[in-house]
């Protein structure tokens, strides 16, 4: 099973002792998805709504921790996954008391149409 949340992140270098050019960069960040049913597996619920970042300040803060640089912006691109992970994710949603809706509805509510099976 393999899956990752893919984000576009704009960050800047804050180097007071030197000049940098450019000082702003955009990059792609792939955050590995936790195995369904384990700690952190509901990241999609905490971070995303309708395929968009639901709390930009919070997610920028997380990205700053991931990258160790000041993050100016972050946007969600997709959940890139294989079939095995997606099946396990659907099963975990179905088994969880946290969700009242069927897995497809839950995934669409949080990820929109931003699931890419590779």
Q: What is the DSSP letter of 95?
A: H
Between CA 101 and CA 58 the distance in angstroms is 26
Q: Calculate helix-pair angle for 103-111, 83-95, nearest 10 degrees.
A: 110
What mean pLDDT comes out for the span 5-30?
93
Q: What does residue 109 show for φ and ψ, rounded to 5 degrees? A: -65, -35
Q: What is the pLDDT of residue 39?
A: 96
- Express each pLDDT in 25-54 by its tens digit: 999 999 999 999 999 999 999 999 999 999
Q: What is the pLDDT of residue 84?
A: 98
- Express each pLDDT in 66-100 by its tens digit: 999 999 999 999 999 999 999 999 999 999 999 99
Confidence band of 15 (pLDDT split at 50, 70, 90): confident
Look at residue 23 and give its three-state secondary structure.
coil
Q: What is the pLDDT of residue 18?
A: 93
Between CA 74 and CA 21 the distance in angstroms is 21
Which among 16, 113, 110, 12 is positioned nearest to 54, based on CA atoms?
110
Q: What is the pLDDT of residue 16?
A: 87
Between CA 29 and CA 68 the distance in angstroms is 13
Q: What is the DSSP letter of 50?
A: T
């Amino acid at each position: 099973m393999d899956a990752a949340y893919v984000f576009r992140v704009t960050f800047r270098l804050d180097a007071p002792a030197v000049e940098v050019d450019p000082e702003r960069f955009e990059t792609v960040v792939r955050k590995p998805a936790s195995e369904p049913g384990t700690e952190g597996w509901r990241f999609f619920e905490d971070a995303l709504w309708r395929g968009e970042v639901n709390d930009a300040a919070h997610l920028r803060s997380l990205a700053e921790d991931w990258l160790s640089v000041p993050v100016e912006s972050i946007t969600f691109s997709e959940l890139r996954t294989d079939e095995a992970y997606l099946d396990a994710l659907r099963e975990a949603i179905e088994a969880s008391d946290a969700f009242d809706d069927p897995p497809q509805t839950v995934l669409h509510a949080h990820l929109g149409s931003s699931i890419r099976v590779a």
